[in-house]
Structure 1
Amino acid sequence: MTHAHITTWVIAFILFFVALSLQNAGSPKVKMVHMVLRLFYLLIIATGAVLLYMLASIPPLYIVKAVMGLWVIGAMEMVLIRAKKGKNTQMAWIQLAIVFIIVLYLGLKLPLGFHIFS
């Protein structure tokens, strides 16, 4: 299940950058890509919930990682919506970068998953 979760994240980030580039190009297909991206948000949440459910007891750092993961999804959505409305996206990008680094570090540090930093 860890691989499914990571795969959905990778595909979501690819779709995020595709949607952003289509939006900057003024393509009418951006709405479709954005809807598919939102579907992947749901898949990310579902696979993450299954991973949490598989744990016998949920350590507090996993709860922090889950909340931060939801924050990453929110920041991705903020970047796309603010860019669509023509507003400044600098703070949304900063949030996305910082929270993504934290989530990535926690995901690689915690026992469930890959052990790069352990």
Structure 2
Amino acid sequence: MEFLTSTTHLHITTWVIGLILFFLAAAGVVKSKGVHMALRLFYVLIIISGGALYYEWAINFRTDETGMDYDMKFMFGILLIGMMEMILVRQKKNKSTTIFWGLFVLFLLLTLFYGLKLPINFDLF
């Protein structure tokens, strides 16, 4: 399982592709079930790669400095995926998505903040 946890490249690649697919589906650029199904596949890949990183780094390298940062990143990532799915499903049913877009932006910013703050990632903060 070292290929999942040695670097963050796989995880970053999956969530970047996932965000691209999400914005394509949400904007209605491609109106097909295939894009939504591919996005759901990427949800699973994001969770698997993120879960492997969480297990490797949060369990083995947790310090007083990082504390619950790994847990918060994992929780906000799951909530972000939930908001992505809620937006697409509610758009399909022609229901209001305003609150979910707001939560999506909030969870995206929090997930990126915690992801970039952790020791395994880039040294931005």
Partner of 2:11: 5
- How high is the TM-score relative to the length of structure 2? 0.84
Structure 2: which amino acid aligns with 1:7?
Answer: T
Instruction: Mark the runs of 5 or more structure 2 residues left unpaired by the alignment.
Output: 1-6
The answer to whether residue 86 in structure 2 is matched with residue 84 in structure 1 is no
Partner of 2:111: 103
Structure 2: which amino acid aligns with 1:39?
Answer: L
| Alpha-carbon contact 2:24-2:30 (below 8 Å) kept | no
The answer to whether residue 35 in structure 2 is matched with residue 33 in structure 1 is yes
Distance, in Å, in 2 between the alignment partners of 1:15 and 1:106 is 23
Partner of 1:93: 101
**Over the residues paired in the alignment, what is the CA RMSD in angstroms?**
1.5
Distance, in Å, in 2 between the alignment partners of 1:8 and 1:106 is 17
Deviates more, 1:90-99 or 1:57-66: 57-66
Deviates more, 1:54-63 or 1:35-44: 54-63
Partner of 2:3: none
Report the Cα offset of residue 4 of structure 1: 0.6
The answer to whether residue 60 in structure 2 is matched with residue 46 in structure 1 is no
Report the Cα offset of residue 112 of structure 1: 1.4
Partner of 1:66: 74
- Misfit runs of 4+, over 2 Å: none
Distance, in Å, in 2 between the alignment partners of 1:53 and 1:45 is 12
More helix by share: 1
Distance, in Å, in 2 between the alignment partners of 1:39 and 1:11 is 11
- Matched residue SS, 1:19: helix
Identity of aligned residues (%): 46
Instruction: Mark the runs of 5 or more structure 1 residues left unpaired by the alignment.
Output: none
| Alpha-carbon contact 2:25-2:36 (below 8 Å) kept | yes
Aligned length in residues: 113
Report the Cα offset of residue 57 of structure 1: 4.5
